[in-house]
Structures are given as structure tokens and as C-alpha cells.
């Protein structure tokens, strides 16, 4: 981010449990630092938090996501948006879960890169870890065993999002000044 440019933070999934908590936290901290934790210091009184409902922006629509990034020019992104559901929904609509989550993640992460977003935080899920992972779960348990079958399509999509962030960092990180992280 250009030092003179004030942050415009896009919170994708702002109506969900995690996304709404991110928005509340950012709003509450605007007196101190409204930007992502690893950002350079800026004037937080000029920070803009951008949100869009699904009806305003379908994250599965690549053209719409590209147009949004071109128009809004966010400098930082929190990617908390996801298609989620319970056991019944996961068993009934596995193709919807993997497809929609892959599309949302791919569209947002790629558009962020194409439009110069340097800081992106992708939210994963505990379901990405093996079904029988030791408790408490450790990050290095990722991809060490079979996933819970009922939410495997969702989990695989989330793992793909994590790997997409890692891949953008590996290919473009230092040379393009980007830092795409997942938690």
C-alpha cells in the first residue's frame, strides 16, 4: 500500500459469525489501528470498511468480483465468506459446497492480486484437519489423515483456499509486496 493511501478494508462475509466479529473489531479499534495487524501505520480516522451482501455482490461471479475490485480499490481484504451448512446440508449438497467455496475464494484472492491488494487474510475452518486429529489441533496436522466424510467437500475447498494464498505468496510475495495469510 502506498504510504499516503488510506486503507480501504473489504470484509467478505460480513454477515456471518466471524465476518461480523471482524467488522465490529475494526469499528471499535478505529481510534487506534483499523488496518490488518501487520500493516504499516496509517491514519485510522480515514480508514474505510467495505462490505457487500450476497445480493449486492455474488462472489461466485468472477466478472462481478473483478468489477467490484476495480471500482472500490480495497487495499486489504478479510475473506470470511463461505457457503456453510450442517450435516444434512453437507450430505445433500456436496457439489454446491465445494464449487461455491472454490469459486468465492478463487475469485476474491485472484481479483485481490490483480488489483494490487497487498494484505489478505483468508479464514479457514477446523474441518480442514483430519477427523481424528489430536486435540488440541496443531497446524502441522493439516493433510495428515482423512477428513470427516460429511464435510469433506467444504474442507477440501477451504484447504484449496489456504494453498492458493500460500501459492500467491510463493510466486509473487516479495517481488510484488503481497502478504496473503490464512488462519
pLDDT > 70 in the chain, percent? 89
Strands (E), 16-167: 48-50, 76-79, 119-122
Q: Residue 1: inside a domain, yes or no? A: no
pTM of the model: 0.89
Count of C-beta atoms within a 10 Å radius of residue 111: 22
pLDDT at 38: 42
The backbone torsions φ and ψ at residue 126, rounded to the nearest 5 degrees and listed phi first, read -65, -20
CA dihedral 179, 61, 68, 26 (to 10 degrees): -50
Identify the three-state secondary structure at position 61: coil
pLDDT digits (tens, 9 = 90+) for 5-53: 788 999 999 999 999 999 999 888 764 444 444 444 445 567 889 999 9
Among candidate residues 78, 129, 154, 168, the one labeled active-site is 154
Can you give the CATH number for the domain in which 131 is found? 3.40.50.720
Q: Residue 2: inside a domain, yes or no? A: no
Q: Residue 168: inside a domain, yes or no? A: yes
Cβ atoms of residues 86 and 148 within 8 Å? no
pLDDT at 6: 80
pLDDT at 27: 84
Rounded Cα–Cα distance for residues 3 and 16 (Å): 31
- pLDDT of 2 > 80? The answer is no
Q: Which of 86, 95, 103, 87 is nearest to 164 (CA)?
A: 103
Which residues span the domain enclosing 121? 8-182
pLDDT band at 59 (very low <50, low <70, confident <90, very high): very high
Q: Residue 143: inside a domain, yes or no? A: yes
pLDDT at 33: 45
pLDDT at 161: 98
Cβ atoms of residues 165 and 109 within 8 Å? yes
C-alpha dihedral sign at 58, 62, 66, 69: positive
Is 154 designated active site?
Answer: yes
pLDDT at 174: 79
Q: Residue 23: inside a domain, yes or no? A: yes
Based on the number of CB atoms within 10 Å of its own CB, is 146 exposed (0-12), middle (13-18) or buried (19 or more)? exposed
Q: Residue 3: inside a domain, yes or no? A: no
Q: Residue 119: inside a domain, yes or no? A: yes
Residues 6+ apart with CB under 8 A from 83: 96, 97, 100, 101, 104, 154
Per-residue cell: 111: 481479483
Q: Residue 86: inside a domain, yes or no? A: yes
Count of C-beta atoms within a 10 Å radius of residue 36: 19
Mean pLDDT computed over every residue of the chain: 90
How many separate domains does the chain show? 1
Amino acid at each position: 500500500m502506498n504510504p499516503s493511501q488510506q486503507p480501504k478494508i473489504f470484509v467478505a462475509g460480513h454477515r456471518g459469525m466471524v465476518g461480523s466479529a471482524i467488522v465490529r473489531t475494526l469499528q471499535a479499534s478505529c481510534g487506534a489501528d483499523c488496518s490488518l495487524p501487520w500493516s504499516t501505520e496509517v491514519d485510522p480516522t480515514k480508514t474505510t470498511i467495505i462490505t457487500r451482501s450476497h445480493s449486492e455482490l455474488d462472489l461466485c461471479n468472477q466478472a462481478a468480483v473483478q468489477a467490484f475490485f476495480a471500482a472500490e480499490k480495497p487495499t486489504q481484504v478479510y475473506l470470511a465468506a463461505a457457503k456453510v451448512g450442517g450435516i444434512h446440508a453437507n450430505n445433500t449438497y456436496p457439489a454446491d459446497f465445494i464449487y461455491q467455496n472454490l469459486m468465492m475464494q478463487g475469485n476474491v484472492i485472484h481479483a485481490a492480486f490483480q488489483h494490487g491488494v497487498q494484505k489478505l487474510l483468508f479464514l479457514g475452518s477446523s474441518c480442514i484437519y483430519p477427523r481424528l486429529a489430536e486435540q488440541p489441533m496443531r497446524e502441522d496436522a493439516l493433510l495428515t489423515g482423512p477428513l470427516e466424510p460429511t464435510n469433506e467437500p467444504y474442507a477440501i475447498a477451504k484447504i484449496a483456499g489456504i494453498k492458493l494464498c500460500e501459492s500467491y505468496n510463493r510466486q509473487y510475495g516479495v517481488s510484488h509486496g503481497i502478504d496473503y495469510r490464512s488462519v
